[in-house]
């Protein structure tokens, strides 16, 4: 009979049940470039103005998932929870096309966010843009586009500087 034992310490130098820290941050932009950081905050506020807060957080969370920005995924899913978005909906965000958890407006926003985030050589497809234009009015659509652009900028900041979320005591 072969037995397997769990090593006391993993190759990373941590016990098998210990949390492994994220890579060390590179630079703190709020301190290193406070004028730029303040401008980003203002850009985010301008994009958000007049946009449904739930749609905004879903867009931010989904674009952050696509980009792989751990800090922003953590932040925006937490913000969505505060707005009353359910765990089931947040868990379904990565597979939103296959779930019944999202409204037509949320689906159009998520499709646009993914198209802007994955901007390929052919740009945003007409059908994706047209659906967003159909369900968002003339005041909301430019804000939605601005939100997609802004969260992608934030993601690039977070990834480049290695921003990392802190574990929450409640795990939520």
Query: Would you give per-residue pLDDT tens digits along the chain (172 residues)?
Result: 555 555 555 556 667 888 778 788 889 999 999 999 999 999 999 999 999 999 999 999 999 999 999 999 999 999 999 999 999 999 999 999 999 999 999 999 999 999 999 998 999 999 999 999 999 999 999 999 999 999 999 999 999 999 999 888 876 6
Contacts of residue 17, defined as CB under 8 A and 6 or more positions apart, other chains included, come to: none
The model's pTM is 0.87
Three-class SS string for 79-90? Answer: HHHHCCCCHHHH
């Amino acid at each position: 009979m072969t037995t397997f034992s769990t090593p006391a310490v993993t190759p990373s130098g941590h016990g098998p049940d210990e949390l492994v820290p994220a890579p060390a941050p590179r630079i703190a932009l709020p301190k290193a470039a406070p004028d730029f950081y303040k401008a980003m905050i203002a850009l985010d506020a301008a994009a958000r103005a007049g946009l449904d807060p739930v749609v905004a957080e879903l867009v931010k969370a989904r674009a952050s998932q696509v980009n792989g920005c751990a800090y922003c995924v953590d932040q925006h899913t937490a913000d969505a929870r505060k707005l009353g978005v359910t765990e089931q909906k947040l868990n379904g965000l990565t597979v939103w096309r296959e779930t019944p958890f999202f409204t037509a407006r949320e689906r159009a926003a998520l499709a646009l966010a993914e198209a802007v985030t994955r901007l390929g050589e052919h740009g945003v497809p007409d059908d994706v843009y047209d659906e967003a234009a159909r369900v968002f009015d003339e005041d909301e659509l430019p804000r939605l586009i601005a939100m997609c652009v802004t969260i992608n900028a934030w993601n690039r900041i977070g990834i480049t500087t290695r921003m990392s979320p802190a574990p929450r005591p409640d795990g939520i």
